[in-house]
Amino acid sequence: MPSYLGGHWRDRRLKTGGGTPRRAPRRSGLQSRVVKPNILVTGGAGYIGSHTVRLLLRQGYGVTVVDNLSRGHRHNVDAERLRMVDLADTERLGRVFAERAFAAVIHFAAYIAVGESMRVPELYFANNVGGSLSLLTAMVRAGVKHMVFSSTAAVYGMPAAVPIREDSPYAPVSPYGDSKVMVERLLHWFDEIHGLRSISLRYFNASGADAESGLGEEHEPETHLIPLLFRAILTGKPATIFGDDYPTPDGTCIRDYIHVNDLAQAHILAVESLLAGGRSDAFNVGTGSGYSVREVVSAVEDVTGKKVPYVVGPRREGDPAELVADSTKLRHTLNWTPRDPALRDIVSSAWNFERKRGS
Ligand SMILES: NC(=O)c1ccc[n+]([C@@H]2O[C@H](COP(=O)([O-])OP(=O)(O)OC[C@H]3O[C@@H](n4cnc5c(N)ncnc54)[C@H](O)[C@@H]3O)[C@@H](O)[C@H]2O)c1
């Protein structure tokens, strides 16, 4: 597993609020360390949030996590940094902001299941939009002016052109996708009116794990392909492939799988950009390579050495044939490069986690 502790990231010198880098006093002879700011991470007990917290800590940031554990796991966060607070509780958020000086918020906390949002949209608008509004209100009150926001490829709906660029129009086809559009709009107005700068990262398919640190994907219910294929292998209950009559080479949907650590690193680069005075913006985060569902099945069989039991069902409403990111803007503007773009490596890291979890 390539490490984000090495290479140029280790040598970055972070500027806070456009000022000069803050340094700790020399601890001994030759040793010195850059003291990095405190970041508040919402949803840090979840899948992507916990990987980002781990990376932030390893790169020297102070981290406090806000999570109500509605969908996350206590074991993903050190007890002393977890604040069990619901986003809707603006007053309690205010007390967390008062604990220490936070330079930025990375905002993961949300409900994430497209299918559930089609059945109970009110849950998604209340939690994802209402929760974000409460958080932004608490940030304004506390004078915290930087946010990195978890957005999604679902803001584009059924894109007219692939790979998708950031200037493709908003066209969400689910309450989930629309809840993220609404938060991006909130962020626009909070910048205009309150000077709160933000970067929205529109993720494609987050996948893989940092099994070494015991972190991985544990959604309940699970809706993501790679863990569902593992489940099919482990239980013998067939997974369902939703449609094999799409206009793609093998008829199944094509998606862009991005390793969760590469995604986590994009958040840190986004925070650094904002703290160095960068403007509000939105970026796609994907590798730019698409894999069909059948190709993912083959990769899973290859890595595990086991056949995946599956059946082919009908298409799901609102599933585009192909979703692949054009991430040129992120690569050029924030100097981001995925370290683990190969599907086989992503699947292999996820399988390592699955085996550790089961043992
Ligand atoms: N997983 C993906 O492939 C993917 C793709 C695109 C976008 N995203 C976005 O990334 C973010 C994180 O996704 P994830 O896969 O890590 O999800 P997750 O469900 O594993 O984590 C979300 C966390 O937020 C917490 N949370 C939810 N509502 C809360 C509230 N009101 N107050 C406090 N905590 C709350 C949950 O307890 C959970 O720990 C989400 O915003 C999601 O929309 C994920």
Complete domains list, the chain, with CATH = 2-11+35-220+249-292+314-358 (3.40.50.720)
CA of 20 to the centre of ligand 1 (A): 34
What is the pLDDT at residue 358? 72
pLDDT digits (tens, 9 = 90+) for 213-224: 999 999 888 889
Q: Does residue 48's CB lie within 6 angstroms of at least one atom of ligand 1?
A: yes
Q: Ligand 1, atom 15: nearest CA belongs to which residue?
A: 47
Tell how far the Cα of 160 is from the centroid of ligand 1, in angstroms: 27
Q: Which of 156, 176, 203, 291 is catalytic?
A: 176
3-state secondary structure the chain: CCCCCCHHHHCCCCCCCCCCCCECCCCECCECCECCCEEEEECCCCHHHHHHHHHHHHCCCEEEEECCCCCCCHHHCCHHHEECCCCCCHHHHHHHHCCCCEEEEEECCCCCCHHHHHHCHHHHHHHHHHHHHHHHHHHHHHCCCEEEEEEEHHHHCCCCCCCECCCCCCCCCCHHHHHHHHHHHHHHHHHHHHCCEEEEEEECEEECCEHHHCECCCCCCCCCHHHHHHHHHHHCCCEEEECCCCCCCCCCCEECEEEHHHHHHHHHHHHHHHHCCCCCEEEEECCCCCEEHHHHHHHHHHHHCCCCCEEEECCCCCCCCEECECCHHHHHHHCCCCCCCCHHHHHHHHHHHHHHHHC
- Residue ID of nearest Cα to ligand 1 atom 4: 206
Residue nearest to atom 11 of ligand 1 (CA): 108
For residue 218, the ligand 1 atom closest to its alpha carbon is: 20
Pocket of ligand 1 contains residue 67 by CB under 6 Å: yes
Summary mean pLDDT of the chain: 91
Mutate to test the pocket of ligand 1, among 66, 75, 89, 108 (most ligand atoms within 8 A of CB): 108
pLDDT in tens, 197-248: 999 999 999 999 997 899 999 988 888 999 999 999 999 999 999 999 999 9
* C-alpha 323 to ligand 1 mean position (Å): 20
Task: Reply yes or no on whether 111 is catalytic.
Answer: no
